[in-house]
Each structure stands twice: as C-alpha cells, then as structure tokens.
Structure 1
C-alpha cells in the first residue's frame, strides 16, 4: 500500500489497529505472567505443613477411630463379617483372625478405615465427592494409572497439576470451613462443589453410623462427627502438598517389613519378626518426594501401617491386594448413604 492523501486515513486505521492489537497482546502476556506467578505462589504455599504435623494429625485420627471401636458393645459371637462384609482392608483375611472381642474391635477399626479410603482417601480429589469425578478422570487420563494403589506414578508435572488444582479449589475460606468442620453458608448460596462436599461428609457419617448401629444399637456414636472432621481436614491438607502424600496399606500375606509396618502387640501371639501380615488394623501415611516436589521416587513412611502378624508357615503368602465384589461396591454404598 502506497502512502498518499487518499490512503493516509486507511493506513492510520490499520496502524491504530496494529498498535491496539500489540497493546492487548502485551496486556495478555502480562496477565499470563501474573497468573503464572500466582500459581507458583500457590504451589509454594503448599510447603507449609511439616511431616511431624501430618504424623500428629494422622495419629489423632487413628486414636479417634480406636476410641469409637472401644465404645462398641456387642455379643461375643456376633457375625461381624456378615454385617460389615469385607471391603478393602478386610479383603482376603481369614475369618479365624477375627475371633475374640479384641480382634473384633480391630476389625471395626479396619472397616472404618476402609470406608474412609473408599470415600475420601482413595483419590486426592475425594473430599469433593461426586464433583471430583471429572477431575479424577482427567488426572488418570493425563498421567495414567500406576502400580501403587492405581495412582499415577509420581512425577513433577503430575504433582504440580494435582497440587495447584486442589489449592485453587481448597484455598478459599468457605470451602475450607466446609471440608474441615462442615460449616456452610445458607443452602441457596452454596456452589456445586460446596454442596458435593457437604453431601459427602453427611454420607460418610451415615454409612458409619448405620452399619455400626446394627452391631451396637445403644451406642450414641458421639465420636463419629470428630472422625469425619479429622479425616476430611487431613485429606484436604494432603491434597495440597507439593510432595505426594498417600494413605495406603500392605496386602494380606505380605512379608513383614519394619520399614513400612508396625506389628500389633497381641497377648495371644509371640512376637514375629519374620512373619506375614494376617490383617491390617490401620493403614499408614506415606510420602513420595521432598517438600519441594522433587525426588518423587523416594518413599518415606511418615506413619507405618499397623498390622497383625502370624508365622509365615501359617498362611499362604500373597502379594498385593485383591478386591472382591464387596470392596468394589463400597464406593457406591457411600454415595448412596447405605
């Protein structure tokens, strides 16, 4: 285009448009930089909770579940397996291991943990309830299912995506209050995610109380709200750390490893340093990587799983975890509140 009196106006319009586009592009780049800084700041905020605090919070939850199991009053010969079925941590356990009142109370602990694992600890997004379904599908779609409890193999990109995603959701005061204490605004003011969190909290409480009431009808279950509060608070904190934290447990029949497990003291059994896992009382809290989200191949058991051991010749040694139909259906049970 040549410059003359006839084209000057057109060129000025084009020049103005180009200048405006350049300005908008510059503004967009600045906005992107700001967003990047905000995301990095969010990730940096994820470093605040030390391992010692996680260990204490986890042990507090363990203690609350143990206390609830100790308040349960039931007949000596009650069929707990028939009532509770065998989800997750109870899967593959020989019925003979649940004989006696003390062992039955261990079974109740393991059952409560199985409900929590199915409903909220089975995924970094579990506290969100139904609202987490799409997030979880995207997570697996992007990073694939790994070998350790089917979670994607830890990687810097995977953990950054998980951490920043959950921090953007969990960072708000309103959502945090709902997750940790069940405190909510007026019902009409709730977002879809907030409603889903509240519903999940309610259903977890209902599942625990409804099933355990069959065993101990006169129990007031006053410890259940505290268990739910502590579990959801811990799950929320876990989900926003740069390192991966995961609640997991060994398979029944696994060879005892003192690095990852703590043996349960049992007056009826001698100490077995080379035994196998007969059943799991409570899972452990595992950390992959350091506070900066690096060295993700390194596993550190903040709190080892508590297990009951038996002699290696008493059990056919198995590895891993086999889910049965009951275990697979437990997530649906929580969703339905049954």
Structure 2
C-alpha cells in the first residue's frame, strides 16, 4: 500500500511528521499482537486518515462530485462492516475466563489506540488542516488563474500587434493610392491647360491622347477602387473573425468562471457536511484507500487529458490565426507589387507624354515666333497706315469746321483774370467769425491774421468752383452734365489715373476728345442762342443756370459767416461764377484737353513760430494750376504740360497744437 502522507502532502508537509509520531502504534510490528477486532479498529482509523486526505485532494482541484460519492459509498460500507462486527461479537456470559482475558486486552488496546487517534487528530490534523489545505488550494487556484491570465494577455497582445501592423500597412497603401490619385489629377489638369493653347491639328492629337489617357486613368481608378474594396472586405473579415474569437473566448471564460463558482459553493457545502460526518466515523478499510488512490489517478488522468485538449485547441486557433495573417500579408505584398507596377507604368506614360509635349511645344514656339514676327510686321504697317489716315482725317476735319484754337497767351490771360478776381474778392474784411476757423485757431496758425483770412477765402472759392465747374467738362451743366459724364465714361471708359475724387475722366484719345468738344460746342451754342422748350439743348442752358445759382449760394453762405455781404460783394460773387463757367465752356470746346489742377502744385511752407514742435499742418489752395494734354490739332495725347504762367500754388502752414 502506498504512503498516503507522502502522496498527498509532499516532501515538506507537516503530515509527514504526524505519520512518524503514529508509526509505533500503527506499524506492522504491533499488528501481530493485536486481536482481529483491534485490526478492524486500526483499519477504521486508517480510513479516517483517508477521508482527511480525500478532503485535501478535493480542495486541491479534483472532481468534488466523484469524491463525495466515493465517501458516501465508503461510509455505507463502513457502517455495514461495523454492524457485522457487532453481530459477530460474543456475549460476556457465554465466554470463559481464557477468552475474556485476550478480549479485555484488545479492548484496552483499542481504547488506547482510539484515544491516541483522537488526540492525534485533535492536536495535529484539526488545528492546521483547514487553514493549510485552504491556503494550499487558494494558492494553486491563484497560480492557475495567473498563468491563464498571463497566457491570455500574451495571446491578445500578439494579436493586437499583428492587427496594428496590418492596419498600418493598409493605411500606407491607402495613402499611396491617394497620393497617386492626386498626382494624376494634377497632371491631368496641367495637360488640359497645355492642350488648350495648341492649334487645331495638335488639339485633335491631344484629344486622342487625352482620351487614351482618360481610359487608362479610369482603368487605374477602377483597379484602385477594387483594391480598396478588397482591402476593406479583408479588414472587415479579419475584424469579424477577431470579434468571433473574442466572443468565444469570453464565453469560455464566463463558463469556466461560473463552473468554478458553482464547484466552490458545492465544495464548501459538502466539506461542511463531510466534516460533521468525519467526526462520527471511527473506522475505515484499506480497500477504500485503494479505491481512493485509483479514483485520484483517474481524476488526474482526466485533468491531464483536458489540459492537453485545451493546449491543442489553443495551438490550432493560433495556427489558424497565423495562416490568416500570412495570407493577408501575402495579399498585401501582391497589392504593393501591383501598385508599384501601375506606378511604373504611369511614370513611363507620363515621361512619354512629356516628351511629346516638349516636341509639340518646341514646334509651337517656333511657329508662334514666326507668326509673331509676321503679325508684328503687319501690325506696324497697319499702325503706320492708320496714323497717316488719322492725321489726314484730323486735318480734313479741322479744315472743314474752320476751328481756330486758343493760343497759350489767351489761355493765360483768361485764367489769370479769373485768378485776379478771386484774389480781389478774398481780400474781404472779416467783421465777424462764425466759421470753423476760430480766432484761437487762427492765432495758432499765423502771426498775420489778415493774410491767413485771405488764404482761407481763396481756398474756399477755388474748392467751390472746382466742385461745381472744373471737376469735369460737363459739371457746369448740373443734372444734364451728370448724364453726359455717364455717357462719356460708358463710351470710352474711365482712367483711374485721372481720378480727382469727384469724377474720373476717360483716357485721352482722338474719339473721346472729339465727343467731348462736340458736346461742349452744342452747350456753347445753347448758351449763346435762344432755344425752344422742345430743343434738347434747353436742358443744358437750364443746368448751367442752376450751377450758377448753387455757386452763388455756397459762396454767399461762406462769406456770411465772416462778414456782412453788401450788393457789391454779391455782384463780385456772381461775376466770378459766370466768368469761371464761361471760361470752362470755352476750354471744353478746344481740341486739346484742359484741366484745372488742385493737386501736385508748387507748395510754399509757412511756419508759425512758438513753443513746442510744429508737427501739425494745414494746406490752403491760393491759386490752382492749368494743364494741357495733347496739342491744338488734337494729337500727341501722351504729352501733358502746364500752361506757361498758370502754375498753381499751395500754402502749407506748419504749427504747434500747444
């Protein structure tokens, strides 16, 4: 019979020491001196040890249901054997003195042995049995759980690493495909822009090449789309397989966890019942020990087979996973090779098209140079012919209308008369001051208030005349002049270089200036001669009169803020307004363009001396300038010059605000 203490508790377990203590009592050398009933009691004590060992085995992970059934059967057999022994005992009255003496001896031995067994059980087994067995069982269960969790974590980490690698490869393929698509689209747009500049023959050739290129591109796009769809399907299948495996794994874990909980609960209940039954058991047989060892070996064999099956299942699943991963990697490599081949084909096609484009571009460049030289020569000839035609036409027109232009001396005389009258009117004495130019402000600007007041009135008069007369050729006709300004811009455009903040003149040309002086000639005739109310020129005369009234009102309001206006001052204001308007109408009928300049004039600085830095300035127009574009015959529109003796002047006053 094998040693149960060595079999169950191992090399260093305290049970082995307990076996040495009980060896003198339960050894084979004492069995020869015992009676049969003592031998039976000894076997019962051995069975009690078997029950205790069985409980230890059950806590170490063997099948509890099989052990419990085995214990129940053993208990029934023991009860039956004890009953048989009681029946076979001889009554005391029927025994002789010789038979009673050995019977008393083995009874004493049995009592001593039973007492020794109980003491051994109480002192050695019972105090340490439960915590040691529970600790051993818990440690083994914890070790098994840790090993299982480590293995599960390792498998999941390997799985995640492989999945991440596949995802990165798929993303790189998608990025490369997207870059190729963008490069192709950009190349396509560039080719289309280049093709549009070619001639009809080259355009047909480009259309043919473009159609072939589009067909190839569409094929590439379809292939790329199929590759992307295939990759997406493979990714979905991989994710589905992963989810399926994870679900199976979770279900197995849940089942195992529930089984462990159920077995643990049943084990606790049955252990408690067995503990109560063990206290009442005093006898056991050696056959139960053999059966228990056999059952234990059977359970261990079943446990090993289950572990082997689980390992084989894990290997199978990992091999299937590796096969799938390898197949996916192979497909990805094939896709990469296919993409590289397509990229090489695309680069070759691109180089071929670039060579064709360069050759065609060189041909076109040579053709364009030749055509440009021919066109330039023809253009120069046509320009020369048109110039001669224009000159002859201008001479014919000038000869036909008997126009006599105004000389520079006459221009200077007319403009200087207006400047002198404005200068005389600006000498008006200030008897009051309700204008924005307060006395304090005048004291900050100049030490000579009379000169400053004259400059202020000059600036006021010239700004009023420029706003209502000089800003455009037709502004003097008021509402009708606004219509003419719009028609002039609509017919000949507006040149931003001539913008004076109130009107933008067209670029100087023969047609634009002829339209201008012909229109102004009609206005001049309307002012000289009486016209019917149904004559369109009547509106020009009415607009002219309206402008005169507005100029007089504005100048009158400005003068009334600084002085009382008498009849003479009113006549002077009316005279200046009419002289400026009539002069401007005459200027508008000239073949050259005449401009009253309010900017870019000669500037004279006046510094008001005083404390502080003179960091403030005021500009006052004391005399505008008169400029001419073109000549008297209506030519040379690229020449602009100031009429001699009509240079303008601006007074710039520097002062300090302290």
Q: Distance in 2 between matches of 1:280 and 1:43?
A: 42
Q: Distance in 2 between matches of 1:277 and 1:158?
A: 37
Is the aligned partner of 1:65 residue 2:422? yes
Change (3 A) 1:42 1:225: farther
Q: Distance in 2 between matches of 1:128 and 1:45?
A: 26
Q: Distance in 2 between matches of 1:280 and 1:41?
A: 37
Other-structure match for 1:135: 484
Pick the aligned partner of 1:154 from 508, 526, 537: 508
Change (3 A) 1:224 1:287: same
User: Could you tell me the TM-score, scaled by structure 2's length?
Assistant: 0.33
Pick the aligned partner of 1:280 from 621, 630, 634: 621
Post-superposition Cα deviations, 1:64-93, rounded to whole Å, max 9, x if no partner, equal 111111123234xx363369xxxxxxxxxx
Is the aligned partner of 1:115 residue 2:461? no
Is the aligned partner of 1:301 residue 2:642? yes
**Alpha-carbon offset, residue 278 of structure 1:** 3.7
Post-superposition Cα deviations, 1:94-127, rounded to whole Å, max 9, x if no partner, equal 9954772311211111111111111111110122
Say which structure, 1 or 2, has more relative contact order (CA 8 Å, 6+ apart): 1
Q: Distance in 2 between matches of 1:109 and 1:299?
A: 26
Pick the aligned partner of 1:233 from 582, 596, 608: 582
Change (3 A) 1:169 1:103: same
Other-structure match for 2:633: 292
Change (3 A) 1:165 1:185: closer
Other-structure match for 1:33: none
**Alpha-carbon offset, residue 234 of structure 1:** 0.8
Runs of 5+ in structure 1 lacking a partner?
1-35, 84-93, 178-183, 252-259, 270-275, 316-338
**Alpha-carbon offset, residue 291 of structure 1:** 0.5
Q: Does the 8 Å CA contact 1:124/1:162 hold for their aligned counterparts?
A: yes
For the aligned residues, what is the CA RMSD?
Answer: 3.6
Change (3 A) 1:215 1:187: farther
Post-superposition Cα deviations, 1:272-291, rounded to whole Å, max 9, x if no partner, equal xxxx9943212111111110
Post-superposition Cα deviations, 1:233-254, rounded to whole Å, max 9, x if no partner, equal 1111111111000101225xxx
**Alpha-carbon offset, residue 168 of structure 1:** 2.7
Other-structure match for 1:80: 435
Change (3 A) 1:204 1:98: farther
Q: Does the 8 Å CA contact 2:458/2:621 hold for their aligned counterparts?
A: no
Pick the aligned partner of 2:551 from 204, 209, 215: 204
Deviates most, 118-127 or 46-55: 46-55
**Alpha-carbon offset, residue 219 of structure 1:** 4.0
Change (3 A) 1:158 1:185: closer
Other-structure match for 2:8: none
Query: Larger % of strand: which?
Result: 1
User: Could you tell me the TM-score, scaled by structure 1's length?
Assistant: 0.62
**Alpha-carbon offset, residue 199 of structure 1:** 2.0
Change (3 A) 1:161 1:277: farther
Q: Does the 8 Å CA contact 1:46/1:240 hold for their aligned counterparts?
A: no
Q: Does the 8 Å CA contact 1:46/1:163 hold for their aligned counterparts?
A: no
Query: Larger % of helix: which?
Result: 2
Change (3 A) 1:74 1:188: farther
Q: Distance in 2 between matches of 1:126 and 1:164?
A: 16
Runs of 5+ in structure 2 lacking a partner?
1-392, 610-616
Other-structure match for 2:523: 169
Q: Distance in 1 between matches of 2:437 and 2:618?
A: 22
Aligned length: 242
Q: Distance in 1 between matches of 2:579 and 2:554?
A: 17
Q: Distance in 1 between matches of 2:521 and 2:399?
A: 7
SS at match of 1:280: strand
Q: Distance in 2 between matches of 1:60 and 1:267?
A: 30
**Alpha-carbon offset, residue 169 of structure 1:** 2.9
Change (3 A) 1:103 1:226: same
Whose radius of gyration is greater, 1 or 2? 2
